[in-house]
Structure 1
Amino acid sequence: MITKQLLEIQSHLQIAADTFEVVLKSPLAEELRPGQFVHIALKHHMLRRPVSVAGVDLEAGTFTVIFKIFGEGTRVLSTYQAGDQLDVILPCGTYYPIDQLDVKQALIVGGGIGVPPLYYLAKTLKEKGVEITSILGFQTKDQIFYEEKFQAIGDTYIATNDGSYGTQGFVTDIIEKVNPSFDYFFSCGPTPMLKAVSNQLAAHNGYISLEERMGCGVGTCYACVVPLKEDPQKSKKICKDGPVFKANEVILG
């Protein structure tokens, strides 16, 4: 059940350029699944900000979110400190249905702020004995985060747009070069990246998670709808029916 809570910030750290990691304590932490998000209210801002869950610590009863400064709302969120409280709605959205899948090898493909939910997913899959290959894309070297954490899970490759680190280019360039083995792919990131990855891996089973601005975050305002490929006249709500969808289930861009 979706619940509104006032949660205390346990830690608030900058982990890359304009990128922050926040740990929050909540009795509902154990209910959060890979792919889901929380909806955070900010002072003097009407709309909440959706932020994906990057991890859960069951023993501590905490969960981690990572966000990047994109506008005034996230800039305000970056000024919070440990000990402050946040008004949060959770758990929101759908999650990767990994308990229903027979996965032995998984390909993780993330871009920018789409990387955090994939870390939670990769870690969960690893605990189930799945072999993980991760391909992550960032604009520049100073925007990279969690590389060592992904490396601890499995083979990890980094692409940067400007070539300041790893492979110059895009995640699709690394996929073509490495040609990894996998049963399913899981991807999250900017829409152009998701479209390119879905097209490149169209012959494979996979799931994508969409990034989208949201109004209510619970499916009532219809501000974040996406058309279906099988019938473009029909649509689904990213905040409620998603953000996780089967690859090629919805029309991207």
Structure 2
Amino acid sequence: MRQFATVLSNHPIAKGAMEMKVSVDTNEIAPGTFFHVKTSELLRRPLSVANVEGNVVTFLYKVIGAGTTDLAARRAGDKLDVLGPLGNGFPLQQAGKRVVLVGGGIGVPPLYYTRRMLAAREIETVAILGFDTKASIFYEDAFCELGETIITTVDGTYGEKGFVTGPLAQVDADVLFSCGPEPMLKAVAASHIEERYISIENRMGCGIGACFACVCQAPDGYVKVCSDGPVFRAEEVTL
């Protein structure tokens, strides 16, 4: 589970967003899982899997603090101490005939790899991706290659103005897979789609369920995002 990945590339792809590709030694990585990446002597950060091609894993992350600032300074050839893949991932076997993928900001990346794997199963998908502004948009072309893709921006500088919930209300699908900020997940969890799965992004301590740093409230208590999730049925958690 623990290994030293080799950085292949690391560069900005949009306002505040970085793309890092690393070489890892692993056999199979499920869509929606993550790696816990060591960024200092004491800190690790969970990075969701944006894509997998052979032994090359792509991460997308936002530079917002000391840990991700350290990641942004890594260069090709550097070694990364990583744990993973971790978590349960999206249940592709429950996808039905048509899936709507709803992502917001840095919650978009895991949905790209998920969509690729759904396409490999010949499952129809539509993606709704929300960003703050045009300069923040990434992976639009990659998503469009896989099917219908709707872009929203809060300020209306590109695509549909507003939030992902607007176009989502007009979409017919069997299953919903979503990842993004908590206010968005809360709104999406209340949508009309019958089967709804959400991926929660929380700060984590150990990444393996031992420290209880990433607990999330549930109807009958608490769940640990790192080991019980990060993907849950919408009704399994209380946002």
Question: Could you tell me the TM-score, scaled by structure 1's length?
Answer: 0.92
What secondary structure, in the 3-state scheme, does the structure 2 residue paired with 1:83 have?
coil
2:223 maps to which residue? 236
1:24 is aligned with what amino acid?
V
Task: For 1:110 and 1:248, locate their aligned partners in 2 and report how far apart those are by CA, in whole Å.
Answer: 19
Percent identity over paired residues: 46
Cα gap change, 1:159/1:102 in structure 2, threshold over 3 Å: closer, same or farther?
Answer: closer
Give 2:235's aligned amino acid.
N
Q: For residues 77-226 of structure 1, what are the structure 2 equivalents within 5 Å?
A: 77-99=71-93, 101=94, 103-176=96-169, 179-201=170-192, 203-226=193-216
Unpaired runs of at least 5, structure 1: none
Q: Secondary structure at the match of 1:200?
A: coil
| SS of alignment partner, residue 240 of structure 1 | helix
Write out per-residue CA displacement over residues 61-86 of structure 1, whole angstroms, 9 at most, x where no aligned residue.
11111101111211111111111111
Instruction: Count matched residues.
Output: 239
Q: Give 1:13 shift.
A: 2.0
Match of residue 57 from structure 1: 53
TM-score (normalizing by structure 2)? 0.97
What 5-or-longer segments of structure 2 have no aligned partner?
none
1:33 maps to 30
Show structure 1 runs of 4+ deviating over 2 A. Answer: none
CA offset digits 1:169-188 (Å, max 9, x no partner): 10001223xx1221101000
Look up the SS of the partner of 2:81 in the other structure.
strand
Deviation string 1:40-64 (CA, Å, 9 cap, x unpaired) is 11135x1200000011112xx1111
**What CA distance in whole angstroms lies between the structure 1 residues aligned with 2:121 and 2:134?**
31
Over 3 Å counting, the alpha-carbon distance change for 1:238 and 1:155 in structure 2 is: same
> Is the 1:47–1:216 contact (alpha carbons within 8 Å) kept by the matching residues of 2?
no
